[in-house]
Structure 1
C-alpha cells in the first residue's frame, strides 16, 4: 500500500469547505516510512500540537518500530515546526510498537496516554506546559484503568480526550480480555488528579472499538465509537463518565475506521469519518445540533475516489471554524 501522510486543513463549520491544505508529516521524513493515528491538541500557549505514530520498519502496518512523534504550529496550522520524538522504545535489534497517542492538557501539563504493543496502557506527563520536555519512563496504568492487567488487545482513543470543568480527564479506550469474553468493549477512562490515578466507567459499550468522548450541549458526555461494520455506536453519560447508556447504532456511516468528534460550538458537535461503502476514502463531515441524537452530513473534505483518506482528528478553533488533520495517501494505507 502507498504510505500515508498526514495533512491538515482549515474549514468553515457551516460549509465544511477546506480553506487551506498543508502536509504536516510527509512519508519518509526523518526515516519514518509512514505516519498514522493523528491527534490534535491545543497547548496552554495557544499553539497547536499534532501527535502521531511514526512507523519506521513495516511501512504503514500496525506493528514493528513505532514511535510517538510531534510537530507544533504557532499559526493555527498554516506552518509547522520540526519533527520531535516524544517517546519510543525501539532500536535496531528490538522493535516495540508505541502508539495510539491520546493527549489532553490538565494541571498545566500535557498528559499523554498511549499503548505499548497494544497490550498495556501507559501515561507520560510533560515536564513543561507545552510538551517540549518529557520524562524518560512512562507509568503503566493498565490494571487500574481497565481492571485487568492482561488485555489481549487495548487501544487508547484515537484520537484524544477531554478535560471537564473541575479537572476530570476523560479518554476513551477499547480493549478485549478474558474478562470481556474476548469481545471488544469501549469505555471511558477517568482521572481526577491530573493523570496520576485512573479508573474506567461502568457499563462498557459492547462491540465498541476506537472512539472519542465529547461534552454535549445538553450537559451529557457522548461517546462515539467504531464498530465492526459500517455503523457507529453512540452512548451517553449523565454523571461525568461514571456510567453509560446502552449504545445506539448509527448505521451506514462508512467503512470501518476511526473518526473524530468534538464540541464545535455552543450548540453543535462535529464528526469526521469516511462516508459510503468505498473503503477508507471520501472523508466527510457531519454536525449534530441535538447532542448526538441525529447527524447532518455537511459535505466532503476529500472526495477524490482514488485517494486514501482515513483516520482523522478535529480541533475547535473558534465558534465558526475548526481544524482537521487526516491520513492522506495514494491507493491505500495499510494497517487497521
Structure 2
C-alpha cells in the first residue's frame, strides 16, 4: 500500500513537472524542417510572442530561412498557430531580435520592433568577403497581427565594404558577417536614456584571424523610437561573438558575450556606464562557464535597483545544464542559481542550447529554449526570489 502511494505520488510530481513545459516549435511541423534561435517578448497587453528561425529544408544556418512566431494569451500554457513575420524568399532571414517600445507617446498601447538580418551566402564565405549581411526591422502596433514594410538600417548600424553589391557600402572598417543578438533587445526604463531601444550585436572585420579574433561584439540603439540609429563602440575583447544586453543602472549596461577564442570556456562580460555607448571593461567571468554558445540576460527594477537574470548552458563541454542565475549587484555575485534543464544519463549532443528570457511578473520568469538536440523549442515558467 505504501509502495503504491509512493508510486502515485511520484507520477503526480512527474506529471506536474512535465506540465510546466510546453513545446512551442517542433522540427518537422508546420512546413519547416527545423526551428532555431528562439526569442521572446511580452506585449503591453500581457501576451507572449515567441519568435524563431523557421528553416525550410534542413537544420543548417544558411538556406531558405524565415522568421516565424506564435502568440500565447495565457502566459505560455497554449500557443496559437504559427505565423510568418519575414520571408526572404529562398535566402536567409534570421537572428530575430524583438523589443517592445512601451514609451512612445504616439503608440500608447506599445509597438513591437523586430530586428533581423538577411544574408546571401554561408557565414564562413561572408567572413571571407564573399557575400553580404544586412540589417532590417519591421514593426507592429496591433500585437503582431500585422507588420509594417521592412526598413533597411544597414548604413546606420553596419560597416560593410561591398560596393559591387551596393555603391554605398564602402566602409573602411570592412565588417563582413553581422548578427543581431540571438534573443530580445531592451528599452531603458529610467535615467537620462529612458526610452532608448538597445540591441546587442556582433560582426567580423577584415580577413579571418586565428582564434576567431576578427569577431567583435557591439550594439546599436535608437533614441527617437526607431527613426534613426547609432552604433556603440566595439567591446574591448577580440573574439567576442553572439551577445545580449540588459540595463543594470540608470546609465549602466551589462553585456554577456560568447567567447569565440574558445579557451577558456567562459562568458565575456562587458560593462558600460554611459548608456551603452562606450565600454568600461570586458573580461571573462569564471562564474559563468559556457560551451561556446549563446546566452540570455534580462533585468527589471525592484525599488531603485535592478535585478539581473542570466541564463546559459553552464557547462564547459556540452550545450547542457541550462542554468538561471539572479544578481542584485550588477552581476558581481549571484544570489539565486537554479538548474533548468539537465541531460539524462547517456544523452549525447546538445540537450539545452540557445535560450531567451521574459519577465512574466516579479515572481516568475518565462524561459524559451532549444531542447533535445534542437528538435524542440520549449517554454517553461520558473519561480524566482
Q: TM-score range by the shorter chain?
A: 0.7 to 0.9
Secondary structure of the structure 1 residue equivalent to 2:155: helix
Question: Who is 1:240 aligned against?
Answer: 275
Secondary structure of the structure 1 residue equivalent to 2:30: helix
Question: Who is 1:139 aligned against?
Answer: 151
Secondary structure of the structure 2 residue equivalent to 1:143: helix
The answer to whether structure 1 residue 125 and structure 2 residue 161 are counterparts is no
> How much has 1:51 moved relative to structure 2?
0.8
When normalised by structure 2's length, the TM-score is 0.75
Stretches of structure 1 that go unaligned for 5 or more consecutive residues are: 1-16
> How much has 1:285 moved relative to structure 2?
1.5
CA contact (8 A) 1:112 1:124 kept: yes
Cα distance in structure 1, aligned partners of 2:134 and 2:222? 14
Question: Who is 1:9 aligned against?
Answer: none
Please give the residue correspondences for 1:181-260 in structure 2 after superposition, counting only pairs within 5 Å: 183-206=214-237, 207-217=239-249, 220-228=252-260, 229=262, 230-251=265-286, 253-260=289-296
More divergent stretch after superposition (267-276 vs 166-175): 267-276
Paired residues, what number? 311
Indicate the structure (1 or 2) with the bigger Cα radius of gyration: 2
Cα distance in structure 1, aligned partners of 2:328 and 2:140? 38
The answer to whether structure 1 residue 280 and structure 2 residue 311 are counterparts is no
Secondary structure of the structure 1 residue equivalent to 2:323: strand
CA separation of 1:180/1:170 partners in 2, compared to 1, >3 Å: closer, same or farther?
farther
> How much has 1:122 moved relative to structure 2?
2.7
Stretches of structure 2 that go unaligned for 5 or more consecutive residues are: 1-16, 105-109, 124-131, 161-168, 377-385
Question: Who is 2:12 aligned against?
Answer: none
Secondary structure of the structure 1 residue equivalent to 2:63: coil
> How much has 1:297 moved relative to structure 2?
6.3
Cα distance in structure 1, aligned partners of 2:66 and 2:297? 25
Cα distance in structure 2, aligned partners of 1:180 and 1:293? 33
> How much has 1:219 moved relative to structure 2?
5.0
Question: Who is 1:80 aligned against?
Answer: 79
Higher RCO structure, 1 or 2 (CA under 8 Å, sep 6+): 1
Please give the residue correspondences for 1:257-336 in structure 2 after superposition, counting only pairs within 5 Å: 257-264=293-300, 266=302, 267-295=306-334, 298-305=337-344, 306=347, 308-330=351-373
> How much has 1:191 moved relative to structure 2?
0.7
> How much has 1:313 moved relative to structure 2?
0.3
Question: Who is 2:175 aligned against?
Answer: 151
Please give the per-residue CA displacement for 1:26-71, whole angstroms capped at 9, x wherever unaligned: 111211011111111111221010011001112x211111100010
Question: Who is 2:113 aligned against?
Answer: 111
When normalised by structure 1's length, the TM-score is 0.85
Secondary structure of the structure 2 residue equivalent to 1:144: helix
Please give the per-residue CA displacement for 1:75-129, whole angstroms capped at 9, x wherever unaligned: 1111111100001112xxxx21100000111233211111112643433332423
Select which of 163, 183, 196 maps to 2:187.
163
CA contact (8 A) 1:48 1:73 kept: yes
Cα distance in structure 1, aligned partners of 2:234 and 2:134? 20
Let me know the Cα RMSD of the aligned residues: 2.4
Cα distance in structure 1, aligned partners of 2:140 and 2:358? 24
